[in-house]
């Protein structure tokens, strides 16, 4: 494990994590994929254990969705090799697809069909032996029974998300792929969705999820951060933050005007990489401890300003890593 793969934040408790000796569901090396002369996935290695929730983070265009599609056999890599669910990602992609559930970011079921009718259609596609029972069991599992006859097009974002998840898991996949599944969903629905995901993982299902939400990243057992096709960091959230080497100071004041002015005074000073306001508090961050302390020294003893060293957030770390990444479209 590299220095950047060490990690911080709120991680799942040890009891929630897969066993150390859990078999690898995904084991790939050197995955590479280009489109139109641009390398969107660049020599990525990845190992994911059974029952693990593995988060993909990174800006739009970073290669998250392409990587997920390479892993599950929807795309063939230009270079690289490995296995997913025990099958070769190059030669046995059809077998991988049969054991995989995929939930896309955009709702992709029929809005003029009811929840039950949509699930019955999905059951027919998979050729399930007892489709009626599969639909009933899935409705019960995702608490959709009371809305079974409601048209999908009339559902709120949270209930559409629940229906999409039901359709993705009703054939009993071993691997679940979620592409920004909670975009546009309210906080209560997001939390309920993640509770469902953890229950599925406890049952042995492996989950790969791409997300822009830092609180969701912290609910994953492990995360990786992609930027411009390259894997910049991986590990638990705590390991990634620790491995970044980022140092953060928090400064607060009873005067919002003083905090606003301080932000402008600190901007551009050597040693300061980021200044992020949080109400009447500023987070001031940099990777060089001595340079950062020299930059804030003139303000440390100022009356009315209260300084303390703080833990950098996952968002701080990812912005820090983005500053050092090279655009593959440049």
Q: Give the pLDDT mean for 16-25.
A: 74
Q: Exposed, middle or buried: residue 319 (CB in 10 Å: 0-12, 13-18, 19+)?
A: middle
Tokens of 197: 């995901």
Q: State yes or no: pLDDT of 32 exceeds 60.
A: yes
pLDDT tens for each residue of 47-79: 999 999 999 988 888 888 899 889 888 899 999
The pLDDT score that the predictor gives to residue 107 is: 85
pLDDT tens for each residue of 311-323: 888 888 888 887 7
pLDDT tens for each residue of 285-305: 999 999 999 999 999 999 999
- The residues, any chain, with a CB within 8 Å of residue 146's CB and separated by 6 or more, are none
Q: Exposed, middle or buried: residue 2 (CB in 10 Å: 0-12, 13-18, 19+)?
A: exposed
Q: State yes or no: pLDDT of 6 exceeds 50.
A: no
Q: Give the pLDDT mean for 79-106.
A: 92
The pLDDT score that the predictor gives to residue 180 is: 85
Question: Where do we find the tokens 């059951």?
Answer: 123
Count CB atoms within 10 A of the CB of residue 282. 22
Mean pLDDT rounded to a whole number for the chain: 88
pLDDT tens for each residue of 168-190: 999 999 999 998 888 778 888 88
Alpha-helical (H) ranges within the chain are 64-71, 93-98, 115-126, 131-141, 157-169, 187-202, 214-217, 237-244, 256-266, 289-300, 314-323
Q: State yes or no: pLDDT of 194 exceeds 60.
A: yes
- 3-242 maps to which CATH number? 3.40.50.300
Distance between CA atoms of residues 253 and 220, nearest Å: 35
Model confidence at 8, pLDDT cuts 50, 70, 90, reads very low
Q: State yes or no: pLDDT of 102 exceeds 80.
A: yes
Looking at the domain 247-311, which fold is it?
A: Alpha-Beta Plaits (3.30.70)
pLDDT tens for each residue of 240-290: 998 888 999 999 999 999 999 999 999 999 999 999 888 889 999 999 999
Q: What percent of the chain has pLDDT over 70?
A: 92
Distance between CA atoms of residues 33 and 46, nearest Å: 15
Instruction: Sheet with 38-49: list strands edge to edge.
Output: 38-49, 24-35, 79-84, 87-88
Q: State yes or no: pLDDT of 324 exceeds 80.
A: no
Model confidence at 108, pLDDT cuts 50, 70, 90, reads confident
Distance between CA atoms of residues 293 and 309, nearest Å: 11
Output phi, psi for 240, to 5 deg: -65, -40
Output phi, psi for 217, to 5 deg: -60, -40
Q: Domain ranges in the chain?
A: 3-242, 247-311
The pLDDT score that the predictor gives to residue 259 is: 94
Q: State yes or no: pLDDT of 328 exceeds 60.
A: no
Tokens of 96: 């991988």
Query: Lowest-pLDDT range, 85-99, 142-156, 315-329?
Result: 315-329
Sign for the CA dihedral angle at 65, 67, 68, 72 comes to positive
The pLDDT score that the predictor gives to residue 327 is: 56
């Amino acid at each position: 494990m590299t220095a950047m793969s060490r990690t911080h934040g709120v991680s799942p408790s040890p009891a929630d994590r897969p066993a150390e000796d859990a078999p690898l569901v995904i084991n790939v090396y050197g995955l590479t994929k280009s489109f139109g002369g641009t390398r969107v996935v660049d020599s990525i290695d990845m190992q994911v254990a059974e029952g693990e929730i593995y988060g993909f983070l990174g800006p739009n265009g970073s290669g998250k969705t392409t990587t997920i599609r390479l892993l599950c056999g929807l795309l063939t890599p230009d270079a690289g090799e490995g296995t997913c669910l025990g099958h070769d990602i190059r030669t046995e992609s059809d077998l991988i697809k049969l054991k995989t559930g995929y939930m896309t970011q955009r709702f992709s079921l029929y809005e003029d069909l009811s929840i039950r009718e949509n699930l019955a259609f999905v059951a027919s596609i998979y050729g399930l032996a007892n489709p009626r029972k599969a639909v009933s069991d899935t409705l019960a599992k995702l608490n959709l029974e009371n809305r079974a006859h409601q048209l999908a097009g009339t559902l709120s974002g949270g209930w559409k998300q629940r229906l999409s998840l039901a359709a993705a898991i009703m054939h009993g996949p071993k691997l679940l792929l979620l592409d920004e599944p909670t975009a546009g969903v309210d906080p209560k629905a997001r939390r309920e969705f993640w509770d469902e995901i953890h229950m599925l993982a406890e049952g042995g299902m492996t989950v790969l999820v791409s997300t822009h939400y830092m609180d969701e990243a912290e609910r994953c057992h492990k995360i990786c951060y992609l930027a411009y096709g390259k894997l910049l960091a991986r590990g638990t959230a705590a390991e990634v933050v620790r491995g970044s080497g980022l140092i953060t100071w928090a400064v607060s004041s009873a005067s919002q005007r003083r905090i606003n002015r301080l932000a402008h005074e600190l901007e551009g000073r050597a040693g300061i990489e980021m200044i992020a306001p949080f109400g009447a508090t500023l987070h001031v961050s940099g990777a060089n401890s001595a340079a950062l302390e020299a930059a804030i020294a003139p303000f440390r003893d100022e009356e009315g300003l209260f300084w303390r060293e703080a833990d950098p957030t996952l968002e701080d770390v990812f912005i820090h890593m983005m500053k050092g990444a090279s655009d593959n479209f440049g």
